[in-house]
Amino acid sequence: MIEYFYTCPYCWQPVSILVDGALDRFEGIEDCEVCCNPIEFRILLVGGEVVSFSAVKA
At residue 15, the 3 state secondary structure works out as strand
Burial class of residue 29, CB neighbours in 10 A (0-12, 13-18, 19+):
exposed
Tell which one of 34, 46, 48, 54 touches Zn ion (CB under 5 A). 34
Q: Which CB sits closer to Zn ion, 16 or 52?
A: 16
Q: Which stretch binds Zn ion (CB under 5 A): 19-27, 33-41, 46-54?
A: 33-41
In which region does residue 36 sit, left (phi positive, over 0), alpha (psi from -120 to 50) or beta (all else)? left
Tell which one of 1, 18, 35, 46 touches Zn ion (CB under 5 A). 35
Residues of this chain that interact with Zn ion (CB under 5 A) are 8, 10-11, 32, 34-35
